A and B are shown apart, each in its own frame.
Chain A
Amino acid sequence: MKLTFHIWRQKNRNAPGAMARYESSNMNPDMSMLEALDVLNDELILRGEDPVTFEHDCREGICGSCGFVINGVAHGPMAKTTVCQLTLRHFKDGDELFLEPWRSRAFPVLRDLMVDRGAFDRIIAAGGYCSVPAGSAPDGNAIPVPKTDADRAMDAAACIGCGACVAACPNASASLFTGAKISHLGLLPQGQPERDSRALKMVLQMNEEKFGQCTNMGECEAVCPKGISIEVIARMNRDYLKASWKYRGAQAVSGDA
């Protein structure tokens, strides 16, 4: 199988980049997209050309390392599928593929298809946790959790932090990612004590990281490999509005609320 790739090449964070064209006839429909790049890279190395840099680790759709835009769609044409799980069966012999990195100011390109998603870590650090020092927890069954709540919390918790939502959002908003964590913890009794401060701090951090604002376009949900629903964004807005009302006027908003 033959494919033509147009791939964004950029040496480092500050260098300018451009699309470059490569052809390979050694493709196989059973390969994953990343294996296709492995094969292409082996060819490039043997020709003495720089291999394409792309992020990856687990290659089974769970670590969230991988991801780029294929022909205009984050993670490519298959719904609920990361690029590491996307096989070439979904393309035809002779197809042209445009591979571009996630585009967002908050995710600077480090090299080729690799971006820096540190902003996501900082959003979690701002409040995406329950504060329980090791050893201080009550028995696991001390607080019963209704099954539906546990299930819905799990739906939201499935986020792998890949960044596709930001990449696809016309506003480059991180609302789906942030909303997913706020919803996951907000749906569980264990998350209640810090629910207000969590929403305030995480939303504040999200805005500080220079992500855009959500205008409910729904693109994020469509590309999310874990099928996170935009309901989590409304939930985030609700928690945020409620918390801002409760702490109105207080410096608590940015402090240790």
Chain B
Amino acid sequence: MLDAKLPSGPIEKAWEKCRFEMKLVNPANKRKYEIIVVGTGLAGGAGAASLGELGYNVKCFCFQDSPRRAHSIAAQGGINAAKNYQNDGDSIYRLFYDTVKGGDFRAREANVYRLAENSVKIIDQCVAQGVPFAREYGGTLSNRSFGGAQVSRTFYARGQTGQQLLLGAYQALERQIDAGTVKMYPRTEMLDLVVIDGRARGIVTRNLVTGAIECHVADAVVLGTGGYGNVYYLSTNAKGSNATAIWRAYKRGAMFGNPCFTQIHPTCIPVSGDYQSKLTLMSESLRNDGRIWVPLQKGDKRSPDQIPESERDYYLERRYPSFGNLVPRDVASRNAKAVCDEGRGVGEHGLGVYLDFSASIERLGVDKIRERYGNLFEMYERITDEDPYKVPMRIYPAIHYTMGGLWVDYQLMSTIPGLFVIGEANFSDHGANRLGASALMQGLSDGYFIIPYTLGNYLASNKFEKVDASHPEFAAAKDAVNQKTNALLAAKGTRTVDSFHRELGKIMWDECGMSRNAAGLESAIGRIRELREQYWRDVKVLGGNEEINQSLEKAGRVADFFELGELMCQDALHRNESCGGHFREEYQTPDGEAQRDDENFSYVAAWEYTGAEPKLNKEPLTFDYVHPSQRSYK
């Protein structure tokens, strides 16, 4: 049994009470602490900037050429906050409630409540930084409703909310870099965590320009390294997004929470060929005005304008009369897969459904639609060469987000003391399904408003003996990194890294994607092991270590994806229920909806690395405020 160290007492006061009980670091002493922050996304960037501001000595790392390029930059839709500026009945409690329910009762109530509380401060902070949120004519902040929420609580900056929030954090970070409190290491990849006397005391990195393997010593390590959706090869994540940092930490003893909880976004541009390297998200807001349909007949190859109304199946409107096209992401995705599996999918490969705007264009006029979605339509046309004003868009679900991640307690500390995990990299506050516009909120909440306190508490509560890079644990970690690199370079096989990654991705997508079953998962585990074994024998990585070597970078990441992919399948296999994004075909209601099993699975599955089979630990979940119920969108 894992203890999340949840504060006692009423949930509304929990975080305040917890903060009061924390130990503080004397301001004059902050400078003496060395802190490592890996990642410069919303979580890591905000965290490093805030810690620097407090006066700690921070070293910050990212693998891109600049901290401004972290994957958070790609978020389009918006960020939630319980401001109730629209006077439509929103409140901290309502945001809390929606998030726990949306997560299908697999998240921790206390964490979610704190997230909802912090959401309000995030908006203030970002506005003050100069984030150009959308405004009304009166000069006040504008909101929209997002992802089927019944209140308008989403703040946005055109279709570039993630970019603007990240630039705000990045600018705050650069200010600290200029002030000398943060030292930035771009183009530097963390390849191992160093644990000394049971506590996280540093990392081993590779300089991606010179290949130098370096040791960095610290009193505490914070990981904000993002999600692992790229296990699937094709995803909406940036190409560089990887699991290496958290996976290395896992292998050093940090438990991995709910690895199989992944989110599939229903509106992405379908795959067009084998060369495809990533999938592009089309904002969810399109579902507000687009109608989703497929032909009634299997294998109907007529062009959409040739298919009369009576031969179209608006399957979401048919099955979910009250929510229609606005059902949550997991439901919309699963239904799209179902109709395609029936052979009614559209497009060259039959993996797509129509998202049709003709009715809205007729009702609202082209100009209104252009005003709302003009830039998305342009992006769609640029990629597909089809004009969505005339021809219905084709969309298909794609991997988008990973709710799973390193297990952390209420203080955001992993099972390794001194190792904190923030943002998408931790197993997060989203349970089994994340609501739209809440990942940005979580990243910034962790970075600006949680880690500065909890990290201080850890530092003030512990004594640190001096450690330096000559410590045997550092030498051992460095050796392990070198060995792995050399093994990859020495294989000199016949297949490229990408070809392996694609194959792994296909297994994961087919067996551990939108819907899963025991037989498929078992076979996937076998196939992944085989493929991994072949990988180490037959991968072809040219060049050496002491130079810029993008194939080598990829090779290391893919090696970790193999291991993580296997754990994901194991987790999916053990969770004999369906919940949120985890849909086990064996566990569904008679009409095909997810069937939760609260009796047996109301817990966080935290996997522990043992060297052999991973060991399952459980953190039971209790719900004192929001009572588990069956989600219904009929």
A and B touch in the complex (CB under 8 A): yes
Report how far A139 CA is from B126 CA in the complex, Å.
10
Report how far A151 CA is from B142 CA in the complex, Å.
12
Which A residues are CB-close (under 8 A) to B126?
A: 140
Q: How far is the CB of A86 from chain B (nearest CB, A)?
A: 8
Q: For the complex, is B486 an interface residue (Cβ under 8 Å from A)?
A: no
Report how far A184 CA is from B383 CA in the complex, Å.
29
Which A residues are CB-close (under 8 A) to B135?
A: 144-147, 150-151
Contact call A135/B73, Cβ cutoff below 8 A: no
Q: For the complex, is B439 an interface residue (Cβ under 8 Å from A)?
A: no
Q: For the complex, is B470 an interface residue (Cβ under 8 Å from A)?
A: no
Which A residues are CB-close (under 8 A) to B619?
A: none
**What are 22 A-to-B residue pairs whose CB atoms are below 8 Å?**
A35-B276, A35-B277, A38-B498, A46-B494, A49-B542, A57-B69, A58-B73, A85-B383, A121-B66, A121-B186, A124-B170, A129-B171, A134-B50, A134-B125, A137-B128, A144-B135, A145-B135, A154-B157, A157-B157, A157-B164, A160-B163, A161-B68
Interface size on A, residues (CB 8 A): 76
Name the one of A116, A137, A153 contacting B125, with C-beta atoms under 8 angstroms. Answer: A137
Given A134-B125, A134-B449, A141-B85, A65 contacting B64 (CB threshold 8 A): yes
Contact with B along A79-93 (1 / 0, CB 8 A): 001000101010000
Contact call A55/B277, Cβ cutoff below 8 A: no
Name the one of A62, A135, A140 contacting B160, with C-beta atoms under 8 angstroms. Answer: A62
Interface residues of chain B, those whose CB is within 8 Å of chain A, are 46, 49-50, 53, 64-69, 71, 73-74, 83, 85, 121, 123-130, 132-141, 157-158, 160, 163-164, 167, 170-172, 174-175, 177-178, 184, 186, 209, 238-240, 272-273, 275-278, 280-281, 379, 382-383, 385, 448-449, 452, 494, 496, 498-499, 540, 542-543, 547-548, 550-551
User: Among B64, B174, B448, which residue has the most Cβ atoms of chain A within 10 A?
Assistant: B174
Q: How far is the CB of A110 from chain B (nearest CB, A)?
A: 6
Which B residues are CB-close (under 8 A) to A141?
A: 85, 140-141
Contact call B239/A57, Cβ cutoff below 8 A: yes
Contact with B along A111-137 (1 / 0, CB 8 A): 100101110110011101111111111
Report how far A246 CA is from B356 CA in the complex, Å.
58
Contact call B163/A62, Cβ cutoff below 8 A: yes
Which B residues are CB-close (under 8 A) to A89?
A: 385
Contact with B along A50-86 (1 / 0, CB 8 A): 1101011111111111000000000000100100010
Q: How far is the CB of A28 from chain B (nearest CB, A)?
A: 6
Report how far A56 CA is from B370 CA in the complex, Å.
30
Given A131-B175, A157-B164, A147 contacting B137 (CB threshold 8 A): yes
Contact call B74/A125, Cβ cutoff below 8 A: no
CB-nearest residue of chain B to A139:
B124
Contact call B129/A59, Cβ cutoff below 8 A: no
Report how far A120 CA is from B50 CA in the complex, Å.
22
Which B residues are CB-close (under 8 A) to A110?
A: 209, 548
CB-nearest residue of chain B to A78:
B382
Name the one of B64, B132, B172, B278 contacting A184, with C-beta atoms under 8 angstroms. Answer: B132
Q: How far is the CB of B445 from chain A (nearest CB, A)?
A: 11
| Extra 8 A-B pairs, beta carbons < 8 Å, given A64-B73, A125-B174 | A38-B275, A39-B275, A50-B543, A56-B239, A121-B186, A134-B172, A158-B160, A161-B66
Report how far A218 CA is from B463 CA in the complex, Å.
59
Interface residues of chain A, those whose CB is within 8 Å of chain B, are 11-12, 28, 30-32, 34-35, 38-39, 42, 45-46, 48-51, 53, 55-65, 78, 81, 85, 87, 89, 110-111, 114, 116-118, 120-121, 124-126, 128-141, 144-147, 150-151, 153-154, 157-158, 160-161, 184-185, 188, 190-191
Report how far A136 CA is from B452 CA in the complex, Å.
14
Report how far A156 CA is from B60 CA in the complex, Å.
28
Closest 5 CB pairs of A and B: A144-B139, A129-B171, A137-B128, A125-B174, A137-B124
Which B residues are CB-close (under 8 A) to A150?
A: 132-135
Which B residues are CB-close (under 8 A) to A160?
A: 73, 163
Report how far A192 CA is from B214 CA in the complex, Å.
42
Report how far A32 CA is from B540 CA in the complex, Å.
24
Q: How far is the CB of A165 from chain B (nearest CB, A)?
A: 16
Contact call B542/A50, Cβ cutoff below 8 A: yes
Given A35-B277, A117-B65, A132-B129, A45 contacting B496 (CB threshold 8 A): yes
User: Among A58, A59, A111, A144, which residue has the most Cβ atoms of chain B within 10 A?
Assistant: A58
Report how far A28 CA is from B132 CA in the complex, Å.
39
Name the one of B124, B140, B158 contacting A144, with C-beta atoms under 8 angstroms. Answer: B140
Given A30-B272, A56-B239, A63 contacting B73 (CB threshold 8 A): yes
Name the one of A31, A45, A125, A137 contacting B273, with C-beta atoms under 8 angstroms. Answer: A31
Which A residues are CB-close (under 8 A) to B139?
A: 144-147
Given A46-B496, A60-B280, A134-B452, A51 contacting B551 (CB threshold 8 A): yes
Report how far A114 CA is from B622 CA in the complex, Å.
51
Which A residues are CB-close (under 8 A) to B123?
A: 140
Q: How far is the CB of B303 from chain A (nearest CB, A)?
A: 18
Contact call B74/A60, Cβ cutoff below 8 A: yes
Given A57-B71, A134-B53, A134-B125, A63 contacting B275 (CB threshold 8 A): no
CB-nearest residue of chain A to B155:
A140
Contact call B275/A31, Cβ cutoff below 8 A: yes
Which B residues are CB-close (under 8 A) to A184?
A: 130, 132
Report how far A45 CA is from B133 CA in the complex, Å.
46
Name the one of A30, A45, A81, A138 contacting B551, with C-beta atoms under 8 angstroms. Answer: A45
Which A residues are CB-close (under 8 A) to B209?
A: 110
Contact call A12/B69, Cβ cutoff below 8 A: no
Report how far A11 CA is from B141 CA in the complex, Å.
50
Given A120-B66, A150-B132, A190-B129, A128 contacting B542 (CB threshold 8 A): no
Given A87-B385, A157-B164, A190 contacting B66 (CB threshold 8 A): no
Contact call A140/B238, Cβ cutoff below 8 A: no
User: Among B130, B172, B452, B547, which residue has the most Cβ atoms of chain A within 10 A?
Assistant: B130
Given A11-B547, A63-B69, A145-B139, A125 contacting B178 (CB threshold 8 A): yes
Q: How far is the CB of B380 from chain A (nearest CB, A)?
A: 11
Q: How far is the CB of B277 from chain A (nearest CB, A)?
A: 5
Which B residues are CB-close (under 8 A) to A50?
A: 542-543
Q: How far is the CB of A14 from chain B (nearest CB, A)?
A: 12
Name the one of B178, B238, B277, B498 contacting A34, with C-beta atoms under 8 angstroms. Answer: B277
Q: How far is the CB of A239 from chain B (nearest CB, A)?
A: 15
Q: How far is the CB of B474 from chain A (nearest CB, A)?
A: 28
Contact call A138/B548, Cβ cutoff below 8 A: no
CB-nearest residue of chain A to B83:
A140
Given A65-B64, A160-B163, A140 contacting B124 (CB threshold 8 A): yes
Contact call B132/A132, Cβ cutoff below 8 A: no
Report how far A163 CA is from B594 CA in the complex, Å.
48
Given A30-B272, A150-B132, A62 contacting B74 (CB threshold 8 A): yes
Report how far A166 CA is from B540 CA in the complex, Å.
37
CB-nearest residue of chain B to A115:
B65
Name the one of A64, A121, A137, A151 contacting B174, with C-beta atoms under 8 angstroms. Answer: A121
Q: How far is the CB of B385 from chain A (nearest CB, A)?
A: 6
Which A residues are CB-close (under 8 A) to B141?
A: 140-141
Report how far A113 CA is from B157 CA in the complex, Å.
32
Which B residues are CB-close (under 8 A) to A30?
A: 272-273, 385
Contact call B128/A132, Cβ cutoff below 8 A: yes
Which B residues are CB-close (under 8 A) to A35?
A: 275-277
Report how far A19 CA is from B366 CA in the complex, Å.
48
Given A30-B273, A147-B139, A121 contacting B383 (CB threshold 8 A): no
CB-nearest residue of chain B to A150:
B135
Contact call A132/B140, Cβ cutoff below 8 A: no
Report how far A146 CA is from B452 CA in the complex, Å.
34
Report how far A119 CA is from B124 CA in the complex, Å.
30
Given A38-B277, A65-B65, A110-B548, A128 contacting B128 (CB threshold 8 A): no
Contact call B174/A154, Cβ cutoff below 8 A: no
Report how far A144 CA is from B127 CA in the complex, Å.
11
Given A121-B68, A132-B128, A111 contacting B548 (CB threshold 8 A): yes
Contact call A65/B69, Cβ cutoff below 8 A: yes
Contact call B448/A114, Cβ cutoff below 8 A: no
